[in-house]
Amino acid sequence: MSIHIEAKKGEIAETVLMPGDPLRAKWIAETFLDDPVCYNRIRGMLGYTGTYKGHRVSVQGSGMGMPSSMIYFHELIKDYGVKNIIRVGSAGSYQEDVKVNDVVLAMAASTTSGMNNSRFLNSDYSPTADFELFQKAVNYAKEHNIPVKAGNILSSDEFYGDDPEEYKLWAQYGILCVEMETAGLYTIAAKYNIKALTVLTISDSLVTGERLSAKARENSFTDMVEIALAAAIS
Ligand code: ADE
């Protein structure tokens, strides 16, 4: 076991889907995987391994924000030999044409986090998605007529910022939406030479103030999970 995951070696698949919410990990495992087995309950951060169309896949909650999620990314890679991490989560739209329920593929992740500032002193690093996983996700979405948007997103350290207008600067520079984990994921994936991709569903809009209910959010996550699983196994 690692510090925060109690699975034995071999109990976690090489490919892991990672929602922030551990209960969403449970929902994904029980809805989409055959024979899911729970391998982690430490801190309630549930993790499951099962099969999807005959391929072994795990689903692991990451918690919210980079400080939490980086712990799980790190231990999965270093202690369990994970080779592909696909984050699935929700995001807030920064653009008028990115609407609630839309699926967004994160090609790159800008960030307000200090994590990469301390890693790359006085310089900027551009955390980017793995091209192969990205291409597979795009191909699946095209084949199944699921509209997706793709581009640069923002990984923020704060859900509740001070200034409701702050998003406009990022929006002007083409940022599609905001979440809280991907810049950390893409950075650590690059460091350890594994593949990573983030697939998001828009749950709220900073432009219109619209917000999905918890129930509607669950339903709209199906397209996102199917895209992520297709990228995971193909
Ligand atoms: N995830 C979903 N909506 C978000 C928002 N508005 N800010 C940060 N993360 C989010």
Tell me the pLDDT tens digit for each residue of 98-124.
999 999 999 999 999 988 888 998 899
Which residue segments constitute the domains of the chain, with CATH numbers given?
Answer: 15-233 (3.40.50.1580)
Residues of the chain short of pLDDT 70, as ranges, are 218-219
- 217 residue type, one letter: R
User: Can you give the pTM of this predicted structure?
Assistant: 0.96
The pick from 100, 170, 180 for probing ligand 1's pocket by mutation, whose C-beta has the most ligand atoms within 8 angstroms, reads: 180
Say what the pLDDT of residue 216 is: 77
Contact 183, 66 (CB under 8 A): yes
Say what the pLDDT of residue 219 is: 66
Question: Looking at the predicted complex, does its ipTM rise above 0.90?
Answer: yes
d(CA 112, CA 95): 18
Cα 91 to its chain centre, rounded Å, is 10
Contact 103, 200 (CB under 8 A): yes
Residue 204 falls in the annotated catalytic set = yes
d(CA 139, CA 86): 16
- 137 residue type, one letter: A
Q: Is 2 a pocket residue for ligand 1 (Cβ < 6 Å)?
A: no
Give the chain's length: 234
Distance 37 CA to ligand 1 centre (A): 30
d(CA 167, CA 30): 36
d(CA 59, CA 28): 7
Distance 140 CA to ligand 1 centre (A): 26
Which sign does the torsion angle of CA 69, 75, 80, 83 carry? positive
The average confidence (pLDDT) of the chain is: 96
Cβ within 8 Å of residue 13, ≥6 positions away: 49, 56, 57, 58, 82
Q: How far apart are the first and last CA of the chain?
A: 29
What burial class does residue 51 get, using C-beta atoms within 10 Å of its C-beta: 0-12 exposed, 13-18 middle, 19+ buried?
middle
Which two tokens mark 31? 């809805």
Q: Is 182 a pocket residue for ligand 1 (Cβ < 6 Å)?
A: no
Q: Is 178 a pocket residue for ligand 1 (Cβ < 6 Å)?
A: yes
Helix H or strand E segment including 11? none
d(CA 226, CA 31): 11
Cα 183 to its chain centre, rounded Å, is 10
Q: Which residue has the tokens 């495992």?
A: 29
Contact 63, 45 (CB under 8 A): yes
